[in-house]
């Protein structure tokens, strides 16, 4: 059982109410879109404070009995907004180069690892591509995965997009079953780190193919479980056979 830690940052939803004071924060004062407020650009002192808050939250997760801690570092939320050049225009050690833009996420992972120790698995969920011109490419995010691994992440939970308006997780035409599996395969191969794949994986056979052919180490099932809570039982029945597994279609065009 695991729990994901997330700070939405500039994508925080503005809930209307007399006593509600949302804290829109980001690396730079750039709103996500016209429906979101202009965020406050974090100071270095605030970055250090939030890093400590992530670590303290991870400690509470473990104390509560969870087995895994996952850091949400994708889809344009706070850590992701530091990594992407679309939202990070800083000129200090947290902006500019890819290494600098990834610094905040690495510091958070290092703080989490120092808090939970070596025996608790730490996952990091991140976007393998920004899917828009001017954003991070797959090649750049392979480097991000390597840096996250060095900072203490045991597993990369691979997603895509969400860092810019209109490309949340791919256009509707791109949302075919298993559309993120090729990205998981690339990150796993090039960054030499275990991966979780996700994305319209409705078939147990599709999930098993990704594992058997080395395209991912774990498969995340979300909405399919909402529509079919017995999905794991059905999968166990369907996969209790000895099959000849096909080789995967290579993801060369993405790389």
Q: How far apart (Å, rounded) are the C-alpha atoms in residues 177 and 70?
A: 24
**Tokens 């965020």 found at:** 39
**Tokens 């889809």 found at:** 75
- 119 CB neighbour count, 10 Å cutoff: 7
CA-to-CA dists, residue 129 to 5, 30, 43, 136, 143, angstroms: 21, 20, 27, 6, 12
20 is catalytic: no
> Quick check: 195 and 186 in contact, CB under 8 A?
no
What would the two tokens of residue 32 be? 């996500």
CA-to-CA dists, residue 238 to 61, 207, 210, 225, angstroms: 35, 12, 16, 16
Identify which of 107, 123, 148, 129 has the alpha carbon closest to the alpha carbon of residue 71.
123
DSSP state letters, 20-50: -----EESSS--SSTTSPPPEEPPHHHHHHH
- 179 CB neighbour count, 10 Å cutoff: 16
Give the H or E element holding residue 195. Answer: strand 195-197
Task: Pick the catalytic residue from 77, 94, 169, 183.
Answer: 77
Give the H or E element holding residue 231. Answer: helix 231-238
Where in the sequence numbering do the catalytic residues fall?
77
């Amino acid at each position: 059982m695991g729990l994901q830690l997330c700070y939405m940052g500039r994508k925080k939803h503005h809930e209307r109410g007399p006593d509600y004071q949302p804290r829109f924060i980001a690396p730079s004062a750039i709103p996500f879109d016209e429906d979101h407020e202009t965020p406050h650009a974090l100071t270095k002192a605030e970055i250090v404070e939030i890093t400590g808050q992530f670590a303290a939250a991870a400690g509470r997760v473990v104390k509560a009995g969870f087995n895994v801690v996952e850091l949400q570092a994708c889809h344009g939320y706070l850590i992701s907004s530091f990594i992407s050049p679309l939202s990070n225009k800083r000129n200090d050690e947290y902006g500019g180069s890819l290494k600098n833009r990834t610094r905040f996420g690495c510091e958070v992972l290092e703080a989490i690892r120092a808090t939970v120790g070596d025996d608790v698995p730490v996952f990091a969920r991140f976007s393998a591509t920004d899917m828009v011109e001017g954003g991070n490419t797959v090649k750049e995010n392979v480097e991000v995965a390597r840096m996250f691994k060095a900072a203490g992440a045991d597993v990369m939970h691979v997603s895509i997009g969400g860092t810019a308006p209109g490309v949340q997780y791919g256009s509707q035409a791109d949302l075919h079953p298993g559309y993120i599996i090729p990205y998981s395969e690339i990150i796993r191969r090039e960054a030499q780190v275990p991966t979780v794949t996700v994305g319209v994986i409705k078939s147990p056979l599709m999930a098993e193919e990704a594992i058997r052919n080395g395209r991912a180490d774990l498969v995340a099932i979300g909405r399919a479980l909402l529509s079919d809570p017995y999905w794991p039982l059905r999968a166990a029945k369907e996969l209790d056979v000895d099959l000849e597994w096909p080789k995967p279609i290579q993801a060369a065009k993405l790389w």
